[in-house]
Structure 1
Amino acid sequence: MANKTPLEIIKDGLWLNNPALVQVLGLCPLLAVTSTVVNALGLGLATLLVLMGSNLAVSLIRNFVSDSVRLPAFVMIIASFVTCAELLMQAFTYELYQILGIFIPLIVTNCAILGRADAFACKNPPHLALLDGAMMGLGFLVVLAVLGGFRELVGQGTLFTDMQLLLGPGAADWAIRPLENYPDVLFMILPPGAFIGLGLLIAIKNGIDNRISQRQVSEVKEPAITGSKRVRVTGQVS
């Protein structure tokens, strides 16, 4: 893991080792707040900020902290960045902060953040640790936003409602309602809908990965088959 290139880190965070779809970490906030896109984006951006800051800080102190106090030090660092994110949300997006409630402080216990600090940041230089935090946080944010959009669209028949809570008054008219008189599907807004939505996303990702792997296997087999045919033809001619 210490020898990963920046391109491998980007691929890991966004797809191959996505914290939500592959590692399946941070499910508590992921399933709880993704009833709308704005809620998902709010939590996702806070998690991204904390993940980048904690990864960078852990990497900077990695040579000065002994193994006996490593985890407590990581938790203190993460808690500090969570406090900063919480104060920023209280100052600039207070209504959204009230909606997200306890799930902002719970970022401290997010296994995805603590796991990256222990598995990657404490073993790599600051620039790679910062990139890993950015990509893992961005991968988590994308899954949150997609799941939030899916649940909001199916559950309420709308998309991008209340975006002004995050982006200000200019985003108040961003709401999209594809169908008029849409009957709300309460099931998708409740926690069971979150499990179903996440399961569908994981299934889609696994299906794409399987198709890619099958295509790669077929591309490897075709030259081998072609080469063996050439050998047989050559042998017959001789």
Structure 2
Amino acid sequence: MAMFRWRVDTPAKLEYFRQEFSILANVQIRLAREENTIMPVRYSMPFSVVAFIKCGLRFLLDNLFRKILHYYKVNHMQLAINSYRVINGIIALARRENAKITPADIQFCYTISQQVPRPKKSRSKKEKDDEEEILVIEGIEVDQDVFVKFDVLINDEHEVIGPDNTEFAGSFVNVPHKHKHGKKIKTMLRLGIAELLEELGAEDDDGVLVTLVPKNGAGAVTIGGVKIEFDS
């Protein structure tokens, strides 16, 4: 907020800010102090100044906006600028088209499916014993102070995703770290998939379809890529 602090650093500027962004007169506003946290407390809730100036945040909060925060279990102070813009854009589009959009619809858009080639196929039992086939989700960049979870599913490259032809490979989970606000970590997820391919009958396939399904904090994580490699 530092670059916009001058917009709200006196009582007169706060009052002008209230009028500029149509904040109701019965809502008390003040500039946050250093000891304040990003978490809401009784009778008080923090909002970023930049969210109003650059991201289109307005009161009263749209119902879909509130549902999205609840659905992903995320604090609005943890949203990136672009996340605000995407959500507000969805809200504006839904209003213009008179469309009913739910958080589940948005999650479907965030679900990522990708065909991933296999370096080797039709391996012998000895080859499987010597080398484990590993699915690698690389370049995972996540906010340290946000709870993030996504599931990894794989299925036959020729099949449409469904409960009868999809195997759960594992999950990525980031547990929030206190006092790490705004900091990001970069990591990867490695999952053995040899047995799953056998169950799918996909050992002779040139590749597999990998699907990442967000469960929490979808707006706080980015993925660099997905590949398969072998580990002895």
TM-score normalised by L of structure 1 = 0.23
The answer to which structure has the higher strand fraction is: 2
Higher relative contact order (CA 8 A, sep 6+): 1
